[in-house]
Amino acid sequence: MAGNKLLIVESPTKVKAIKKFLGSGYDVAASNGHVRDLPKSQMGIDIEHDYEPKYITIRGKGDLLADLRKKVKKADHIYLATDPDREGEAISWHLIAALKLADSGKKVSRVTFNEITKNAVKEALKHPRDIDMNLVDAQQARRVLDRIVGYSISPLLWNKIKRGLSAGRVQSVALRIICDREDEINAFIPKEYWSLDVNLGVSGEKKPLVAHYYGEGDEKKEIESKEELEKLVKSLEGEKYKITQIKKSVRSKKAPLPFTTSTLQQEASKALNFSTQKTMRVAQQLYEGIDIKGSGTVGLITYLRTDSTRIADEAQAAAAGYIEANFGKEYLAEGEVKSKNAQKIQDAHEAIRPTDVNRTPVVVKEYLSREQFRLYQLIWRRFIASRMAPAKYETTSVRIDAGTHRFTVAASKTVFDGFMNVYTDDEDKIEKNTLMKGIDEKSVLKFESFDPQQHFTQPKAHYTEASLVHDLEQLGIGRPSTYAPTIGTILARHYISKDGKNLFVTDLGLAVNKVMNDQFSQIVNVNFTANLETLLDGVAEGTVKWKTIIENFYPDLEEAVKKAEEELEKVTVADEETDVICENCGRNMVIKYGPHGKFLACPGFPDCRNTKPYFEKIGVECPECGKDVVIKMTKKGRRYYGCLGFPECEFMSWARPSKIKCPTCGGYMVEKGNKLACANQECGYVMDKPEDDKD
């Protein structure tokens, strides 16, 4: 039988666990997320009347709300326990309206907890409060801004490119960042450089000592060509190699901070190969509760949407006790570990951590799926490591002089593993290059051989989900709850594709990004978007009125939309006819846009449904067979340039080939921004692109 107190949470998964914690005096029900939202059929913002949003009940939620109203009638006190963030605060506010709680005469309170555990839930009920309208308004402002941008710009994309596309305030900036990186990679021209190692025999030692060329005296010097290398090797002929300094020092490496949403997404991508969406889905399961034998359903981690690295005193004490008992007192960190970048934290949350450090991954493994176990183990290890002492390692640097030239040898070894006993990532791995024990400044060195190596500089890496989340956070774009949905949206819209871990822009993404940059440069401006996030933080703190942001934003957007409509009206949006004849009905086929870019379709649809790939000629002959070079797509949607004669000719290039031949070696050249570079790296010839070829 229901009690006289009703607690409403978001997820039905939490209901069972919380009911068990609270006993028969409470009824626990779930709202299943949002219950009210802006209508899908229209913008839903009354521009003429102070930008007032028009909220409606979400379709399909009628029966759920009716059931909740019945439960409300039986209760004396209603506790709204939706998630402890701005979105959760807004859901509680919407529940008050949807359930007519303000006029019910019932006592209504807001409670929040960061973990689904008995202590956390009971403690939260001791501190009921009113709805925080500042948090609600911050969420309203975000929702209204996103709706205005999406519903104003998306129709223009439908007219210009194809129906079904969307433009979002944050997703458009994320797309621009990826496009800018692709442009940077495409414009990159590799530069040649060389390294020179020398193998030196040491008396009494079997293995040679390998030293790396540093420069002349204290001045570091790069070897930029083979000619420079040969000149250097010649100048070293007959020189004696002498150890002039051996320097030892002990360095320490600090423990990592516990996870925030973004760092969890980044590390899960690198260590577990999880997408951001998969990470959030599995973390949600761990937060909402797992059925553990002897404990019932219990949340294994704290709330997963947070940008705080703060740890509660109780959790800090529990971790310290665990570390001291299992590793020893010397492994305990001294003092509080704090973030270097004290950025604006959205809410008074904790970092993501296990709710009980004694529930080690091994203890709970049998109750978890493989995905849940791997993510829980990552979170548990990171949290324990964050409370541990720094790792210490001894570094030895050896300076070897040969005439005016200098070579160096560096070695390191761990003297105290500290937090690395539990957790290491790629950045934490200390290179173990042990130095031979008998070496000192009196050691006699004998030249044995040189080992020169040719290298080429590399462009920045293509974005991965992890590196994109990192840059979005660093640039102040979006917040913990928005990273995964943003990436998910531009993947689902086929603006970008994923090949392995790398993200690539599709033709469709390039087209959308061009329209956004040309017509709505302010919307896709990184600084403008980051500044909006700061203003939303101001709303949450009560220092900025939410409608003031909309009032200042909308007129400029409206003007940009009107201007774009006028300019885009001049653009012919009819399907482009080609000289390719449909073999089924004899009509000239037309160019259409699909999820992965352009394709040829018969204009006689639906009577004739013939389609075929569209290969756009770029006006360049294949350097291998003389046929046309055309733009092609990989299965993942990444653009490349290939021969129309495929499969007889297998020529392909990621960079766009040019008509101009290399004057040095006669090979083909490729476009690199406003430069042309020989496709043969060994040749390395670079020239300015002719003016008539520049964009």
Enzyme catalytic residues: 303
Helix (H, G, I), strand (E, B) or coil at 71: helix
Q: What is the DSSP letter of 419?
A: G
| For the chain, the helix, strand and coil percentages under 3-state DSSP, each to the nearest 5 | 35, 25, 40
Gap between the Cα atoms of 306 and 261, Å rounded = 6
Gap between the Cα atoms of 311 and 337, Å rounded = 10
How many CB atoms within 10 Å of residue 673? 15
Q: Is there a contact between 15 and 9 (Cβ–Cβ < 8 Å)?
A: yes
- Alpha-carbon torsion 436, 439, 443, 447, what sign? positive
Gap between the Cα atoms of 273 and 255, Å rounded = 23
For residue 519, give the nearest of 570, 456, 562, 457 by alpha carbon. Answer: 562
Helix (H, G, I), strand (E, B) or coil at 280: helix
For residue 382, give the nearest of 270, 502, 500 by alpha carbon. Answer: 270
How many CB atoms within 10 Å of residue 648? 8
Gap between the Cα atoms of 618 and 656, Å rounded = 9
Tell how far CA 571 is from the center of its chain: 36
Q: Is there a contact between 533 and 181 (Cβ–Cβ < 8 Å)?
A: no
Gap between the Cα atoms of 528 and 304, Å rounded = 27
Helices (H), 247-341: 261-272, 276-288, 313-326
For every residue of 258-271, DSSP letters joined together read PB-HHHHHHHHHHH
Gap between the Cα atoms of 211 and 197, Å rounded = 6
Q: What is the DSSP letter of 425?
A: -
For residue 352, give the nearest of 257, 273, 428 by alpha carbon. Answer: 257
Q: Is there a contact between 616 and 580 (Cβ–Cβ < 8 Å)?
A: no
AA letter at 620: V
Gap between the Cα atoms of 63 and 139, Å rounded = 26
AA letter at 159: N
For residue 92, give the nearest of 112, 106, 73 by alpha carbon. Answer: 112
Strand 290-292 to 45-46 pairing: unpaired
Helix (H, G, I), strand (E, B) or coil at 548: helix
Q: Is there a contact between 304 and 284 (Cβ–Cβ < 8 Å)?
A: yes
Instruction: Classify each residue of 609-634 as buried b or exposed e, where b means 16 or more C-beta atoms within 10 Å of its C-beta.
Output: eeeeebbeeeebebbeeebebbbbbe
Helix (H, G, I), strand (E, B) or coil at 1: coil
Which helix (H) or strand (E) covers residue 21, if one does?
Answer: helix 12-22
